[in-house]
Amino acid sequence: MERYFEKISFEQFKKDIEDDIKLYEEYSLPKRKTKYSAGYDFIAMKDFEIKPGEIKKIPTGYKAKFKNDEMLIIVVRSSMGFKYNVRLTNQVGIIDCDFYNNQDNEGHMFVSLQNEGTETYKINKGDGYAQGIFVKYLTCGEEVNEERTGWTGKPEKEG
C-alpha cells in the first residue's frame, strides 16, 4: 500500500469549513517542493492572518492514508518559527494511521497555529504553512487490542 493524501468528502468539507464547491474543487493537496524535501507542504486554501497572541485553528481539507507502522508528523515550516515566532500550539502533531476515515470526521486534519510574535502574520491562499512528514516507528511488541472510535480533539469550526 502506498501512502497518500486525499481530500475529505464534500459533505465533511461543508461541516468543517464551508458550503463552497468551487473552493472544494480548487484547493491543493500537500506536495514536496524539491526532490529531497522530507516534508509535504500543507497549502492554504484561502487567505488568513494570525494577530499577535492569537491562536488560529486551520482546517486543512486533507486526510492521509499510510502504513500501520508509520505516523504522520505535522510541524510548522521552520521559517515561520525562526522569523515570525509562529508555532504549532501542540508543538508537534502526531497523526496515527487509524485516524484515517474515523467516524467523527473522516480523518480531517487540522493545524492549530499561535502567533507569539509582535506583528500580524499573514498567510495567502496557496502559501505553505505547515509540513507533514511520514515516519516509521517501532513498538515494544506488546499487544494492544483497542481500536479508535473517533477523534477527541474536535476543533471549533473556523470561519
- The per-residue pLDDT for range 16-69, each reduced to its tens digit, is 999 999 999 999 999 999 999 999 999 999 999 999 999 999 999 999 999 999
How far apart CA 28 and CA 68 sit, in angstroms, is: 25
Hey, what amino acid is at 77? Answer: R
Average pLDDT over residues 79-92: 93
CA distance 123 to 120: 10
Tell me which CATH code domain 4-136 carries: 2.70.40.10
Give the percent of the chain with pLDDT over 90. Answer: 82
Q: Give the cell for residue 103.
A: 467516524
- What are the grid coordinates assigned to 158, written together? 473556523
Q: Is the pTM of this model over 0.75?
A: yes
Strand arrangement of the beta sheet that strand 70-76 belongs to: 40-43, 128-136, 70-76, 93-96
Q: Summarize pLDDT for 140-158 with one digit per residue, the tens.
A: 988 877 776 666 555 554 4
